């Protein structure tokens, strides 16, 4: 069994997907699975992913019968994940090559961790770069996290799902709180916030 499943919900991202997949297969920590979720796009994204899957058996491709949108596409990927932890990677993003190794290093010392939150860099089309920094090497209970980070806003709360490693069972449990109508609604933005909070 792999330690981390990286989920790539894929819809019309052919210009980016190779870079995203390569950032996964070239991780310094090798005990991962890569799940590419075909969300019924019209470009060559999945054809590109299939070529990588022929060369690397850690890549699994699943096909949705219809376009389920981002929230549900991620969920479909998590349902087939075989790892105790998951990480989401949108195909227009990529991971630093030691991202999984660093997460596993933390898991080895903080064995009760439900999720790990790490830094990210957001580069806009205009070239402007924003950094998403979190408090370095700190551990919080859920109560401390809610009090210090969310309620008092002592640090910026990034509710997106990139730059996080999440215990698979917790992610799956979060879906039980969402009404079927919400899961089947096309959201314009903030899909990540539904799961995050």
CATH code of the domain in which 29 resides: 3.90.550.10
Predicted confidence band at 71 (pLDDT cuts at 50, 70, 90)?
confident
Confirm whether 104 is domain-assigned.
yes
Torsion sign across C-alpha atoms 80, 83, 88, 90? negative
Confirm whether 125 is domain-assigned.
no
Q: What are phi and psi of 30, to 5 degrees?
A: -95, -15
Confirm whether 133 is domain-assigned.
no
Above 80 in pLDDT, residue 2?
Answer: yes
Confirm whether 143 is domain-assigned.
no
Averaged over 66-88, what is the pLDDT?
Answer: 93
pTM: predicted TM-score of the whole model, two decimal places: 0.82
Confirm whether 168 is domain-assigned.
yes
State what percent of residues in the chain have pLDDT above 90.
54
Confirm whether 151 is domain-assigned.
no
Structure tokens at 90: 């949108």
Confirm whether 188 is domain-assigned.
yes
pLDDT single digits (tens) 131-169: 655 555 666 565 565 566 555 555 555 556 677 899 999
- Domains in the chain: how many in total? 1
The parent domain of residue 80 ranges over 4-119+161-196
Structure tokens at 177: 């709180």
Q: Which candidate, 115, 125, 126, places its Cα nearest to that of 161?
A: 115
């Amino acid at each position: 069994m792999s330690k981390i499943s990286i989920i790539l919900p894929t819809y019309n991202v052919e210009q980016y997907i190779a870079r995203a997949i390569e950032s996964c297969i070239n991780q310094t920590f090798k005990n991962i699975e890569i799940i590419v979720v075909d969300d019924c796009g019209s470009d060559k994204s999945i054809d590109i992913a299939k070529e990588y899957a022929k060369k690397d058996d850690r890549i699994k491709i699943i096909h949705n019968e219809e376009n389920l949108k981002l929230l549900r596409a991620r969920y479909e990927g998590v349902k087939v994940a075989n790892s105790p932890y998951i990480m989401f990677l949108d195909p227009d993003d990529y991971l630093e090559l030691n991202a999984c190794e660093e997460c596993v290093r933390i898991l080895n010392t903080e064995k009760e961790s439900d999720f790990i939150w790490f830094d990210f860099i957001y580069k806009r089309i205009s070239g402007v770069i924003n950094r998403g920094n979190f408090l370095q090497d700190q551990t919080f209970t859920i109560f401390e996290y809610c009090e210090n980070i969310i309620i008092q806003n002592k640090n910026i709360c990034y509710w997106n799902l990139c730059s996080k490693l999440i215990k698979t069972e917790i992610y799956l449990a979060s879906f039980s709180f969402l009404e079927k109508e919400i899961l089947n609604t096309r959201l314009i933005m903030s899909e990540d916030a539904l799961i995050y909070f």
